[in-house]
Amino acid sequence: MAEPIGVTAGLLGIATFAFQTSKAVYKLVDSIQKAPQTIRDLKSEMLALDPVLSSIQQKVTSDATKFEDIRYPLHQCGVVCFHLRSLIQQCTTHSADGSRSARDFVKMQYKGKTIDGYKGQLASYKATIAIVLDLFTLTTSTLTVEAVDEIKRKLNDKIGQTEPDLEVHIEEITEGLHSLAIKASDISHDQQSQPDGDSSLQVLERQKRVLEEDRLALEAEKKAIEKSQQVCKTATQWLAETTPQVDPQSIHISFSGANNSGFQLGQNMGIVSNLKWGGQP
């Protein structure tokens, strides 16, 4: 895993990348002896993430086009795991027997984020992917009324818990981008004030390149969070527009409206409004 896979890669490749990097992070944290609370919490988060990524990888293998809406959150999930692995490796040292012992996990940062910061991002991406999986189940499976009610109840809970976290992430990213813009402006000003050939110009140019890399990383993160917010909005609207109709053996989903698009199950009486899968901008 020399470098993260690009977001324009095939969706199956992205899903595989996210799944494999998450496995690598779990293996790493599981090897840490006398792990502090930060690492134990991360281990729990990685355990919860595993079945979600495993499931989406299996679904994407069957039909990737239905999951284009989570391309960016899924990719960013893999990127976060990739960065987490690098951060934890920096925070650990090998003992004589090859196991790992903890150093300062709380304050250590990688690309400006702590372990807890990355863990918070992972929780949001995990929730977004889980929401999409629930929608997939509701719209492609034959279910009892009780099963549908239970999935919809849990789905509403996930959306309610996820949306505030996504809003906080957007605010943090906006602040980060603003801070980077100020720093870049200061560097440009310093460059203009230095005479040609001054050795400090090379230092300033390197600093400017680092800031640009950080800006691009934040923009990618922002895109993934915005896509996650759209998934939550789409799911909320979808739930508001669906009503179950019962027959003795199965459940059908009815929709208001006059057109048809998206996943549909059983009897169709209209539209799955705004629930478009595959190839969305």
- pLDDT number for residue 107: 66
- pLDDT number for residue 247: 45
What are the per-10-residue average pLDDT scores of the chain (281 residues)? 82 96 94 84 95 96 90 96 88 56 64 84 95 89 83 92 95 94 90 77 87 93 96 91 54 43 37 34 39
- pLDDT number for residue 271: 30
- pLDDT number for residue 170: 95
- Pair of tokens at residue 224: 């993934």
pTM of the model: 0.80
Beta bridge partners of 101: 33, 93
- pLDDT number for residue 104: 63
How is the beta sheet containing 92-94 ordered, strand by strand? 32-33, 100-102, 92-94
- pLDDT number for residue 255: 43
Evaluate whether 238 touches 274 at the Cβ level (below 8 Å).
Answer: yes
Q: CA-CA distance, 271 to 213, in Å (whole number)? A: 43
CA nearest neighbour of 265 among 228, 233, 238, 230: 238
Evaluate whether 271 touches 261 at the Cβ level (below 8 Å).
Answer: yes
Evaluate whether 207 touches 189 at the Cβ level (below 8 Å).
Answer: no
Q: CA-CA distance, 236 to 274, in Å (whole number)? A: 10
Beta bridge partners of 143: none
Who contacts 79 (Cβ-Cβ below 8 Å, separation ≥6)?
Answer: 4, 220
- pLDDT number for residue 277: 35
- The length of the chain in residues reads 281
Q: What is the pLDDT of residues 220-248, one digit of tens each?
A: 999 999 999 999 999 999 888 876 544 44
Reduced to 3 states, what is the DSSP secondary structure of residue 32? strand
Q: CA-CA distance, 82 to 129, in Å (whole number)? A: 18
The angle formed by the CA atoms of residues 14, 156 and 76, to the nearest 5 degrees, is: 20
- pLDDT number for residue 279: 37
